[in-house]
Amino acid sequence: MPAVLEIDRGRILRQARRINGDAPVIAVVKNDAYNIGLPLAWRTFREAGINAFATTNLKEAVAIRELDPDSLVFLMNPSTEFSVIRDHRIEMTLPSMDFYVRHQHDLSGIRVHLEYRNLLRRSGFADPEEMKRVLEEGAVEVSGIWTHFAFADEPGAPEHEQEKEDWLAVLAELSPFVQHLPFIHAQNSASYMQDGLLPGHTHIRPGILLYGSRPYASLEESAVPNVVTVRANVIQTLPLKQGESSGYSAAFRAEEDCTVAVCDIGYGDGVLRARARHDVLINGRRYPVAALMMSHLLVRVDETVKAGDTVHLYGDDIRVDRFTALGVGANSEQMSALNRMSLETVIKE
């Protein structure tokens, strides 16, 4: 088999069931469910009892609705495609006073969640007084209120304490208007792991916790079982004499006599250059990457490695989140890069 992306659906199901059993989940399924595949994620989360989904992309929101006539589909970015949103019963963020003033008539028949800007400063109302005005005027149907924390992934950051305090104060101030809303949500994976469900909230809104990576390094690995394995094959091993090179423009030049394994995976399959600065696992042993090409990887190996051996880039003993801690890139960045067109996807039940 060519290089493979294996997704452990059984573990995703058990993790989703456990978390949703402790706190109701709005599952973040944006960017093709962190690249594990939206239909697979939706089916697994539904089986786990989750009935609320969020994405930033209207096309994905429509796709979820087409799979699922009953669940909440929440669009976290605003869109002006009002008839599509209305026809698919998508609930959408209300991102600003300006959007409200311009579009309150267009929003007729669409349920919105008021967004508080907070320290992320990406979108959302900056001033709770404006949110109060929207609630008092009753010109749009508000079914939720939400925010997104900018510093939750840095446990102990004073900014996170600040943004949490500000948000809880906003909820308290607007409480007479919002306390009975069906959707009050703020917490990503890191926030939930630190604080549990915050008071006055109906749901958490995690992503990565459902996809097998720890949102911050001080969490026990057992709290978030790995679900992603990426493995390739040694095509052949190649002895190189000191000074000889291999790869385009001498991508690797031997400083001493050595052996390299040529493997059938490369950056075209989504292996980040930053990931290639770290080892791979072959037969349970670690070996350094010598060069990364589009469809090939050169690994410096010893005489025990043979053509046909399996090369692990990610897996239970070589987890995505460990490379995050090493500075390779966010968990989601590493996962998003994986090329599901070229890698063979295998689902483990």
Give the H/E segment covering residue 287.
strand 285-287
What amino acid occupies position 69? P
Tokens of 125: 């109302």
148 binds ligand PLP (CB under 6 A): yes
Task: Find the shortest distance in angstroms from Cβ 10 to ligand PLP.
Answer: 21
For tokens 């025990």, the residue is 304
200: left (phi over 0), alpha (psi -120 to 50) or beta: left
| 59 is annotated as an active-site residue | no
Which three-class secondary structure state does DSSP give residue 141? Answer: strand
Work out whether 164 is an interface residue with ligand PLP (CB under 6 A): no
Is residue 12 within 8 A of residue 41, CB to CB? The reply is yes
Distance CA 153, CA 147 (A): 15
- Among 132, 248, 267, 314, the active-site one is 248
For 47, 207, 208, the CA distances from 255, given in Å and listed in that order, are 54, 44, 41
Select from 269, 262, 349, 251 the least CA-distant residue to 314.
269
> Which of 4-12, 201-209, 240-248, 316-324 is the region at the interface with ligand PLP (rule: CB under 6 A)?
201-209
Nearer to ligand PLP, 139 or 325 (CB): 325
Active site (annotated) includes residue 267: no
Among 30, 100, 164, 211, which one carries the catalytic annotation? Answer: 30
b/e code 32-43 from CB counts within 10 Å (16+ = b): bbbbbbbebbbe
Per-residue binding letters, 22-51, with ligand PLP (x by CB under 6 A): ------x-----------------------
**147 binding ligand PLP? (CB under 6 A):** no
Question: CA-to-CA distance for 316 and 325, rounded, in angstroms?
Answer: 16
Q: Is 188 in the site for ligand PLP (CB under 6 A)?
A: yes
- Please answer whether residues 228 and 212 qualify as being in contact, where contact means their C-beta atoms are separated by less than 8 angstroms: yes
Nearest to 58 by CA among 70, 82, 75, 46: 75
* Cα–Cα dist 183/198, whole Å: 13
* HSE-up of residue 82 (Cα within 13 Å, Cβ side): 13
Binding mask 69-98 for ligand PLP (x = CB under 6 A): -------x----------------------
Span of 165-173, 187-195, 256-264, 306-314 interacting with ligand PLP by CB under 6 A: 187-195
Our CB check for ligand PLP shows the closer of 148 and 231 to be 148
- Which of these segments, 37-45, 78-86, 205-213, 282-290, binds ligand PLP (CB under 6 A)? 205-213
The number of residues that bind ligand PLP (CB under 6 A) is: 12
Residue 77 or 259: which CB sits closer to ligand PLP? 77
Query: Residue 224, interface with ligand PLP (CB under 6 A)?
Result: no
Please list every residue from 101 through 130 that binds ligand PLP, using CB under 6 A.
none
Min dist CB 64 to ligand PLP, Å, is 15
Among 208, 261, 271, 292, binds ligand PLP (CB under 6 A): 208
Interface residues toward ligand PLP, by CB under 6 A? 28, 76, 148, 188-190, 205-209, 215
Please list the active-site residues.
30, 248
